[in-house]
Amino acid sequence: MISEDIRTFLARIFLGKARVHSIGADRRSVSARGIARKVDTRPLRSPQRALGSTLLGAGMDARVKGFSLPGGAFAGAGELVKSLTMVISAGVTLRQCPVTRYEAGPARGVKWSSVRSVRALGRVSGLPLEIRNRLQWHPGKPRGAEQGDSVLALYYPVMENGLNKSIFNKDSGTLLVWYNPLKAWRVRGLLLVRNFSSGSELKWRWTDV
């Protein structure tokens, strides 16, 4: 503890040397700054981003939805990436894609609209039935072969009474037949034979298998 005399002495020496500043309302306010930094994340993807598409079934169109990046802090992001800027400025057009159906979501959840199923019985009604040669599997000589016959083919099963028309396809060795559904009920085999006793003629003979 210092005495009063010394305090008075020192006060006289330093009197007026210690400046005291005052802060008025017109002066700058004290600002407190933290050292933490905020990280700005800027996506490098295209501002036009396809979120998903919906397949439209028979039309097979793709509906592509998109949006632009928001402005504000990210307004210049697109310009920073040259390739994106070029794509955008070139005027990208989203073409229709022949997608039958597609919805956003997991692959298993993708659901296409039903495909059109066309009834066309007339398309096949006019087509002939193709009967194969079964001779190689027939045990022994087929019944119905006559004296002098050499059996070349056995066509089975053939509707004997409902046979409207038949054509022998020489290329494939098959028999093309057209039936009358109302009359076709009796099943038989049809032999193709070469008869040597009558000048090697080709003949057709019905047989039971």
* Number of residues assigned to the chain: 209
Per-position x/- string for 60-99, each x denoting binding to another protein as judged by CB under 8 A, each - no binding: x-x----------------------------------xxx
Give backbone dihedrals phi and psi of 54, rounded to 5 degrees, phi first.
-120, 120
**Token pair recorded at residue 152:** 């070349």
User: Candidates 4-12, 17-25, 69-77, 113-121 — which segment interacts with another protein by CB under 8 A?
Assistant: 113-121
**Token pair recorded at residue 63:** 């509906």
Neighbours of 87 (CB within 10 A): 15
Binding residues for another protein, how many (CB under 8 A)? 45
Q: Which of residues 17-46 bind another protein (CB under 8 A)?
A: none
Bin 70: left if φ > 0, else alpha if -120 < ψ < 50, else beta. Answer: beta
What are all long-range contacts of 84-91, with beta carbons under 8 Å and residues at least 24 apart? 84/44, 84/45, 84/46, 84/47, 87/46, 88/46, 88/47, 88/48
Shortest distance (Å) from residue 97 CB to another protein: 5
Shortest distance (Å) from residue 157 CB to another protein: 5
Chain centroid to CA 60: 11
Residue among 23 and 127 whose Cβ is closer to another protein: 127
Can you tell me which of 12, 137, 141, 170 binds another protein, judged by CB under 8 A? 137
Please give the radius of gyration of the chain, using alpha carbons only, rounded to the nearest integer. Answer: 49
Can you tell me which of 54, 56, 88, 102 binds another protein, judged by CB under 8 A? 102
Residue among 78 and 144 whose Cβ is closer to another protein: 144
Determine, following the binding rule CB under 8 A, whether residue 110 of this chain makes contact with another protein: yes
What residues make contact with another protein under the rule CB under 8 A?
A: 58, 60, 62, 97-100, 102, 107, 110, 112, 114-121, 123-125, 127, 129-132, 134, 137-139, 154, 156-157, 159, 179, 181, 184-189, 208-209
